Amino acid sequence: MVSRRAWIAVVIVLVSGGVATWIAISDRHPENPDAGNRVEPSLPDGGIPAGENTEADDRPDPADLNFNPGWIGAACTSDGDCDYDKGFCLMPEEGFPRGYCSARCRKLCPDRKGDLYSTTFCVEDPTFGNKGICLAQCNLHLTTSGCRPGYVCTSLQRFGGDVLRMVCLPQRGSPPPPTECTRKLQALGLAFARPDLADAPSRPAKPGDPPPDKEICQIDTPVLLASPVHGVDFRRKGKRHADNLLVACRFALAIDKFAALLNELEVVEVTHVGTYVCRGVAGTHSLSGHGHALAIDVIGFERARYAPVTIVDHYMGKDRQKRVFLRNLVKKIREAKIFDVILTPTSNRAHQDHLHLETRPGK
């Protein structure tokens, strides 16, 4: 049986339509010995192609120890370092600085419990296009960048599906320079990363809807914002723990003000169903604020000394205490002028189960 490292691969990450695409150029391919001669890539920005790592890329980095040790996404020098079922090491000569533990997958990847472990994600293998490979998802609770040094949060699609997640892939070229907005985030002490994310083609909100007039979703300075913010966690529905919010930098500033207000009301957690979604507004030609990563849909709140509240059960419900809390919360949000658009169950039928909070583009 031929080892995966019996061949040499050059992996380039291109970002198109908001989804990173991998191109593998290899020779001595274990599953295709006639794959052809290796073709050296040329990068127009003058960056170092994968497989031509500097010596610094291969030196151990202390920060590697705090990211998925011995698990998917961890640093490795051989398959033996990836000591779990069917684990193997993606090597520096394959484009992965200081190695990268991985595993095969069909749709889902296993996760390991513990504070030092990020969740994982199954994507299409750049070398064997008809197979899946496990990568580590970005986690700002583990490192300041969400990944190991030399890696960057990059949007990829699930193998055999259309779900997108931010995963850790080798960084290409120079990191983006700071902006006025990101300097404000730093001054506020917020934890965030600058992900690798391109414009994406938009789609109708649901089947049968007209397509948006603006066919491209663009995020002005995308950031991956970590929880908690002012002691308030933001947890996506269905997730066990708080996660990172993919938003425009300007919306991260709005989230900061929103969280400060919630903290005053003893809210400790927000449950939401999404920030960035590249789609139109239901039933219209307009692009949703979610398409600019300038909106969040909130479905519930966890409070420190009181029972949880949900929009669908309590905004129009019979429990007076919970109903009053939610109505007063919306009133305070309006008075604070944090968001330009606030839609509630009293706005229309489309918002019976959530609050839509949005900042207009270009403000």
For the entire predicted model, the pTM comes to 0.75
Q: What is the DSSP string of 21-64?
A: EEEEEEESBTTBTTS--------TT-PPPTT---HHHHS--GGG
Tokens in use for 276? Answer: 């960035």
Return the pLDDT at 214.
74
Contact predicate 312/299, CB 8 Å: yes
Measured distance CA(299)–CA(351) in Å, rounded: 10
Return the pLDDT at 26.
36
Going from N- to C-terminal start, the domains of the chain cover: 4-170, 180-358
Segment-wise mean pLDDT, segments of 10 residues, the chain, 363 residues: 38 45 38 33 32 49 86 95 94 93 95 90 86 94 89 90 87 88 96 86 86 85 94 90 90 98 97 91 89 95 94 94 96 96 91 94 72
Contact predicate 172/13, CB 8 Å: yes
